[in-house]
């Protein structure tokens, strides 16, 4: 049986950064933006379309997973003040 016909199972995406890391060889920024505008990722992650579009860049995606918590803390501080 050829490799393409083998059935493989993958775990669910943990978050949007995990999604980008695992699909960085398949998607580019333009195609990801088209998915977001089409609403394909609306109920997949707990993010709005604006947040998805802000985070759709593939540059430094390996590090963005660790910077996400830092960005969220800064946004909370700004919103409180």
The tens place of each residue's pLDDT in the chain, 81 residues long, gives: 455 555 556 788 888 888 998 888 899 999 999 999 999 999 899 899 999 998 888 887 766 656 655 555 554 444 454
What is this structure's pTM? 0.64
HSE, side-chain direction, 13 A CA sphere, residue 53: 9
User: What does the pLDDT read at residue 13?
Assistant: 87
Asked if 16 and 58 touch (Cβ cutoff 8 Å), the reply is no
Asked if 66 and 17 touch (Cβ cutoff 8 Å), the reply is no
Residue extents of the structural domains in the chain: 12-80
């Amino acid at each position: 049986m050829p490799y393409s016909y083998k059935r493989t199972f993958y775990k669910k995406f943990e978050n949007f950064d995990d999604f980008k890391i695992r699909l960085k060889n398949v998607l580019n920024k333009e195609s990801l933006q088209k998915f977001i505008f089409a609403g394909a990722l609306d109920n997949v992650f707990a993010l709005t379309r604006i947040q998805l579009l802000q985070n759709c860049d593939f540059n430094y995606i390996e590090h963005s997973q660790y910077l996400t918590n830092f960005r969220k803390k800064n946004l909370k501080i700004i919103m409180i003040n």
